Amino acid sequence: MVGGFARRRGGQSSGWLLAVVAAATGLEAAAQPPAAAPRAIDLAASRVYVLVGKSGLVGHVHAVEGRLAAGQVMLGAREQAGTLVFDMRSFLADTPAARRTLGVEGDVDAGTQQQTNANMLGPEVLDVARHPTARFDIRSALPAAQQQPAKPPTYELVGTFKLHDTTRPLALIATAEEGGTAIRLRGGFSIRQTDFGMKPYAKFGGMVGVADELKIWGDIVLPAVGAP
């Protein structure tokens, strides 16, 4: 139908049609996500936090802080959008920063913290001697479908999470806040320890223990492309 219309109305209509097509193509290109560019993670500035709930009658809530061993993210990428490698040996329970960040009240004495770390890092839970890292392989990092006006943009990160040689699908929403020459990427997700072959810590027949669910939150700093 379009071709017939152009033939009947001559050269002027052909020019009009080309202009419309060009405008539509421009709009379609503008609607696409920005071109992806790899950003290596600032390992010194980035942190991972884990909120561990309690189980039993006298359990305790724990706030855990850890670091990344390596990683990069390409916001806007439809495929091969990056990887986050978690340094499981760096995770420490109940640091002041972790408790403050996750809103857990009170302080923990050094002896209790040391015992909690031994249980968490030991063979019954994280078993860092055999599993020193975990990883989030990000397949895509596209803008989220719904954006809030006057708020930092959000991205949906989709991929797989590997922990204890078990890999499961993972999707999360992350906020990308620009500041200076860096982007601060913040987002979280939940897992169950038993889904990854881990046994939630418990003693005294379950009177004291931690919950199966772990709530994981990342505060990832992405320097500008080409920044040292």
pLDDT tens per residue, range 70-82 = 999 999 999 999 9
Q: Which two tokens stand for residue 49?
A: 């936090």
Residues 92 and 113 in one domain: yes
CB within 8 Å of 13: residues ≥ 6 apart: 5, 6
Tell me: pLDDT of 8 over 70.
Answer: no
Per-residue pLDDT tens over the stretch 83-96: 999 999 999 999 99
Total domains present in the chain: 2
Identity of the residue numbered 196: F
Residue 225: per-residue pLDDT: 67
Residues 24 and 98 in one domain: no
Residues 23 and 125 in one domain: no
Residues 134 and 172 in one domain: yes
Residue 124: per-residue pLDDT: 84
Residues 9 and 56 in one domain: no
Residue 60: per-residue pLDDT: 81
SS3 116: helix
Residues 103 and 164 in one domain: yes
pLDDT band at 56 (very low <50, low <70, confident <90, very high): low
Q: Which domain holds residue 2?
A: 1-32
